[in-house]
Copies of this chain bind each other. A is one copy, B any other.
Amino acid sequence: MRALVYHGPGHKSWEEVPDPVIQDATDVIVGVDTTTICGTDLHILKGDVPAVQDGRILGHEAVGTVEAVGDAVTTLQPGDRVLASCISACGRCRYCRDGRYGQCLGGGGWILGHLIDGTQAEYVRIPFADTSTYKLPSSVSDEQAVMLADILPTSYEVGVLNGAVRPADVVAIVGAGPIGLAATLTARLYSPKHIVVIDTADSRLELAKQFGADEVMNPVHHDVEARVRAISDGLGADVAIEAVGVPETFELCTRLIRPCGRVANIGVHGKPATLALDKLWAADVTITTGLVDTYSTPTLLQMVASGQLSASAFATHHFDLADIEAAYATFADAATTHALKVVLSN
């Protein structure tokens, strides 16, 4: 088959590789119908994720068709159309039993396109298939479903649920990239009073309005802290969601919230941040971090199927799978192309 193979920092190629085969009784082989590219894939290509080795097939998001099933797989059979999630779950360890699949101790967690071969290929082996895939109803399109592989559960679990957004809340979302926009969309499920999205790119702020922001702000032009206090009786936001991954945006979040407020970090950070405990020790704040667990995937899938969540809105560009290198170029140059998610079809 053909697959996108990583060859060290800065190098990747769409090349011929051996087809994957069943290795464990809990595996399935999925024929990839649709996949996409994640910001994390770009980090890998920069060399930021040293666990990814030369020769690894990239990608951790896919919609496809089951081709073969291991002996221990009980809920899937060849021909089933499934979502392959970014998180694999052994279903047996302490963390999996608690629904915290992202922290799986039994060989799962984020492994696809990281520790084992991934989804940017014609076929992919999915371990622990019974607990790592989701059967798709025909009412959900591939393009919608692939947004459930990572972006929607990540923003919802790590941003909205960890942040405990509630009706009538003031919510500040820092970062209007795909994750920040998905947090905007899914925060709406809890009927906040006012969502403010903050970013330095005006084109993304325009998008944020379409995804449900009540107000957008560019900190280059506005005093964000003063404005958030002004719309919250002088107190600060109930919830701040960090969706960038640099110290400055995290630190901004800790300044934006009111006493008893919550900061939910989604961003992938490469450096430590400063925590102003001298100001925060008495402020009753809660700060959370998290890797997605995908426990919410069945719930989100129902809401995409029922039309409550508009998953398609993230799909800005479409490519044939064989043109994946062009797709990477488009996705990596989002400032110019305004790409959110590129959809690759086989």
Contacts from A to B (Cβ < 8 Å) = 24-26, 70-72, 74-75, 90-92, 94-95, 97-100, 102-103, 106, 130-131, 166-168, 188-191, 193-194, 245, 247, 250, 259-260, 265, 267-278, 280-291, 293, 295, 298-300, 302-303, 306, 308
Chain B residues, CB < 8 A from A274 = 272-275
Contact pick for A97, options B99, B190, B269, B288, CB 8 Å = B99
Chain B residues, CB < 8 A from A289 = 277, 280-285
Contact in complex: A286, B287 (CB < 8 Å) = yes
Query: What are the 3 A-B residue pairs with the smallest beta carbon separation, nearest first?
Result: A72-B72, A269-B277, A282-B291
Chain B residues, CB < 8 A from A268 = 281-282
Contact in complex: A270, B275 (CB < 8 Å) = no
Identical subunits present: 4
Chain B residues, CB < 8 A from A106 = 74-75
Chain B residues, CB < 8 A from A308 = 167-168, 191, 193
Bound form: Cα–Cα A277–B273 in Å: 6
The smallest C-beta distance from A157 to any residue of chain B, in angstroms, reads: 10
The smallest C-beta distance from A171 to any residue of chain B, in angstroms, reads: 13
The smallest C-beta distance from A70 to any residue of chain B, in angstroms, reads: 8
Bound form: Cα–Cα A250–B276 in Å: 12
Residue of B nearest to A26 (CB): B72
Chain B residues, CB < 8 A from A103 = 259-260, 284
Contact in complex: B260, A281 (CB < 8 Å) = no
Contact in complex: B286, A286 (CB < 8 Å) = yes
Chain B residues, CB < 8 A from A194 = 306
Contact in complex: A265, B291 (CB < 8 Å) = no
Bound form: Cα–Cα A346–B188 in Å: 39
Contact in complex: B284, A278 (CB < 8 Å) = no
Residue picked from A97, A103, A188, A300, most chain B C-beta under 10 Å: A97
The smallest C-beta distance from A241 to any residue of chain B, in angstroms, reads: 13
* A298 in contact with B94 given A72-B26, A100-B260, A284-B291 (CB within 8 Å): yes
Contact in complex: B167, A303 (CB < 8 Å) = yes
Chain B residues, CB < 8 A from A270 = 278
Contact in complex: B71, A131 (CB < 8 Å) = no
Bound form: Cα–Cα A295–B99 in Å: 11
